[in-house]
Chains A and B, each alone.
Chain A
Amino acid sequence: MISKDEVKHIAGLARIGVSEKDIEKFLKDLSAVLDWVKELQEVDVSGVEPMAHITGTENVAREDTARDFGNKNNITKLFPEKKDGYGKVKSVL
């Protein structure tokens, strides 16, 4: 029900590097799960509103004001690559 090319496409969308062996394994595992959840197709859902929030909470608003995080160094020191206190990213253009 799902093809090798589709698995490659999905891996690309998900930004996960895959080997040929991985693709075979995903093909088998994903097909098994997708086959199993097919059961839902038998449910009559006509006129049913899809669930949005389980306890019915809506529009929780707060003041749009900046708050100081505190020790920013706790965050910047986690950057795998950094320069002058900024996170360094490979060039995208």
Chain B
Amino acid sequence: MIRDLHNKLINKEITSLQLTEEYFERIQKKDKELFAYLTLTKESALEQARKVDEKIKKGEEIRILEGIPGAIKDNMCLLGTRTTAGSKILDNYIAPYDATAVKRLKEGGAVILGKTNMDEFAMGSSTETSAYGPTKNPADTERVPGGSSGGSAASVAADEAVWALGSDTGGSIRQPAAFCGVVGLKPTYGRVSRHGLLAMASSLDQIGPITKTVEDAAIVLSEIAGEDLRDATSAKSSGKRYENYLTGEVTGLKIGIVKEYQENLKKDTKELMEKAIETYKNMGAEITEIEMPYAKYALPVYYIIMPCEVSSNLARFDGIKYGLSVNDQKYSDLPASLREALQAGNRSLLETYLDSRKYGFGPEVKRRIMLGTYALSSGYYDAYYLRAQKVRALIKKDFEKAFEEVDLILTPTSPTPAFKLGEKTEDPLEMYLSDVFTVTANIAGVPAISIPGGKIKEGGSELPFGLQLTAKWFDEENLLRAAHAFEANSKFKNQNSKP
């Protein structure tokens, strides 16, 4: 889709300004209901579009993403723009710099339409923990778009953005992409700099694209990937343009099916998995069953390591440096007793911390901070965090062994299609289980992608089903090649519908 639009731009069939205005019109029409966006950056978007049009007019060469409008998840800093991460505690936060991934997109000439809704600090699987209200799934507005990058996935699915950036700590790019019927790529840990991404769990977080097609995901990845001095965990640049590896060929590629995952699959999911396996076989790929005995521990490992890192990362929100500070009466939602105490002016520093975090954070964020603080507290460190890091090493070994036998691993992205709004908000554990197939890639640091794999009928709706492919560390080429070949050979390809 990006390449088509790029060609239309350079052939002067459309202008970037027309294209950008068309997307804003669509946002205005649809987003009241969907609520994919938290903030629109119309002025700077139109200015950038005009700049690109000027270049084209002068006959200058433009880059592939130049003049193409997209969206940024609201946990990435965009200079001079409100960046909330879906939290009240950052309601008034104006980003003082650009995240590296955002900066690279800007340098590539991309048009940024705005910032998308998300679960608060990316903690959730449905976008329902956003302090600003939930995003709806464009396929069925009574259902969640998935999360935490639900706004990004919904914006792309509803043609409110050509491309979007998401972030993925336990499935937050792939699961919403699956729920909304689009493509979502979590690159290898370190492939994309995390500088300027509001940290959730630093050893698991990774930025990646959500797009309509695999080629588009490859193009956006090529733009944002590479080493960054400001993120010591970022990997050496590969210098590759990933879109050049999409040959449509998978002959000889070995694809593994995880034995342990087969037992509990629901009927519809199983059928679509079997269809996908058939498609790959027909294209000449080799299918092998593999064993991953420690995969079943990935979710509990995740729910120890992640909250521990969360409790440490979110300590910075203290009501002192930036964000919500409950030390005066500016904040409207305070009870009368606290208002009086503030008026009396004798609140201590500790009370400012306690109040700012009490009124600034939502329930899921507090739950995870508390959980992590407990697991890291004196006397519990060995039993929880250290043990989890050891099991994490065993899970990584599972992957190392698997990749001696196969090039890629094929699973569903999520055990179910999109669920209804409110269906899982009361039971945190039930919500956590929707990450069961996605967290392993974060635990092991490997790249994984979700692509459309068919539709599941449920309650009168046809809901998108996502297939997940996982590859070895830094092998985005084979990952994207196999995903692209499937897309080209299946009827689930997203239409280049608009414009």
The answer to whether B300 touches A48, judged by C-beta atoms less than 8 angstroms apart, is: no
A83 within 8 A of B: no
Counting contact residues on chain A (CB < 8 A from B), the size range is 35 or more
Chain A residues close to B by CB (< 8 Å):
2, 6-7, 10-11, 13-18, 22, 25-26, 29-30, 32-34, 36-37, 39-41, 43, 45, 48-55, 57, 60, 62, 69-71, 74-75, 77-81, 87, 89-92
A-B contact pairs, 5 of them (CB 8 A): A16-B358, A26-B366, A33-B428, A40-B387, A71-B96
Residue of B nearest to A88 (CB): B320
Select one of B323, B369, B393, B394 contacting A14, CB under 8 A: B369
Chain B residues close to A by CB (< 8 Å):
79-80, 93-94, 96-97, 188-190, 203, 229, 232-233, 235, 294, 297, 300-301, 303-304, 311, 315, 318-325, 327, 347-355, 357-359, 361, 363, 366-367, 369-371, 373-374, 377, 383-384, 386-394, 396, 428-429, 432, 444-445, 473-474
Q: Contacts A37-B384, A55-B189 known; A26 to B389 CB distance under 8 Å?
A: no
In the bound complex, residues from chain A placing their C-beta under 8 Å from that of B229 are: 62
Select one of A2, A17, A51, A54 contacting B390, CB under 8 A: A51
How far, in angstroms, from A6 to B378 measured CA to CA in the complex?
12
The answer to whether B321 touches A78, judged by C-beta atoms less than 8 angstroms apart, is: yes
Given contacts A10-B373, A10-B377, A53-B233, 6 further A-B contacts (CB under 8 A): A7-B370, A15-B350, A15-B353, A51-B390, A54-B396, A92-B349
How far, in angstroms, from A49 to B349 measured CA to CA in the complex?
41
Q: Kindly provide the distance from the CB of A70 to the nearest chain B CB, expressed in whole angstroms.
A: 8
In the bound complex, residues from chain A placing their C-beta under 8 Å from that of B93 are: 78
The answer to whether A39 touches B428, judged by C-beta atoms less than 8 angstroms apart, is: no
Select one of A22, A62, A75 contacting B96, CB under 8 A: A75
How far, in angstroms, from A36 to B304 measured CA to CA in the complex?
11
In the bound complex, residues from chain B placing their C-beta under 8 Å from that of A11 are: 370
The answer to whether B358 touches A18, judged by C-beta atoms less than 8 angstroms apart, is: yes
How far, in angstroms, from A55 to B396 measured CA to CA in the complex?
10
In the bound complex, residues from chain B placing their C-beta under 8 Å from that of A53 are: 203, 233
The answer to whether B391 touches A40, judged by C-beta atoms less than 8 angstroms apart, is: yes
How far, in angstroms, from A6 to B374 measured CA to CA in the complex?
9
In the bound complex, residues from chain A placing their C-beta under 8 Å from that of B323 are: 78, 80
In the bound complex, residues from chain A placing their C-beta under 8 Å from that of B325 are: 80-81
The answer to whether B303 touches A78, judged by C-beta atoms less than 8 angstroms apart, is: no
Residue of B nearest to A72 (CB): B96
How far, in angstroms, from A19 to B353 measured CA to CA in the complex?
15
Q: Contacts A13-B373, A54-B189 known; A43 to B94 CB distance under 8 Å?
A: no
Q: Contacts A29-B367, A43-B391, A89-B349 known; A55 to B190 CB distance under 8 Å?
A: yes
How far, in angstroms, from A55 to B192 measured CA to CA in the complex?
13
Select one of B303, B358, B371, B390 contacting A45, CB under 8 A: B390
Residue of B nearest to A42 (CB): B297
Q: Contacts A50-B386, A57-B233 known; A16 to B188 CB distance under 8 Å?
A: no
The answer to whether A33 touches B377, judged by C-beta atoms less than 8 angstroms apart, is: no
The answer to whether B321 touches A79, judged by C-beta atoms less than 8 angstroms apart, is: yes
Residue of B nearest to A9 (CB): B377
Select one of A37, A52, A75 contacting B303, CB under 8 A: A37
The answer to whether B354 touches A32, judged by C-beta atoms less than 8 angstroms apart, is: no
Q: Kindly provide the distance from the CB of A13 to the nearest chain B CB, expressed in whole angstroms.
A: 5
Residue of A nearest to B191 (CB): A55
The answer to whether B361 touches A16, judged by C-beta atoms less than 8 angstroms apart, is: yes
The answer to whether B327 touches A81, judged by C-beta atoms less than 8 angstroms apart, is: yes
The answer to whether B429 touches A33, judged by C-beta atoms less than 8 angstroms apart, is: yes
Q: Kindly provide the distance from the CB of A23 to the nearest chain B CB, expressed in whole angstroms.
A: 10
How far, in angstroms, from A25 to B357 measured CA to CA in the complex?
17
The answer to whether B348 touches A51, judged by C-beta atoms less than 8 angstroms apart, is: no
How far, in angstroms, from A75 to B377 measured CA to CA in the complex?
33
Residue of A nearest to B232 (CB): A60
Q: Kindly provide the distance from the CB of B373 to the nearest chain A CB, expressed in whole angstroms.
A: 4
How far, in angstroms, from A89 to B396 measured CA to CA in the complex?
45
How far, in angstroms, from A13 to B376 measured CA to CA in the complex?
11
Select one of B189, B300, B347 contacting A39, CB under 8 A: B300
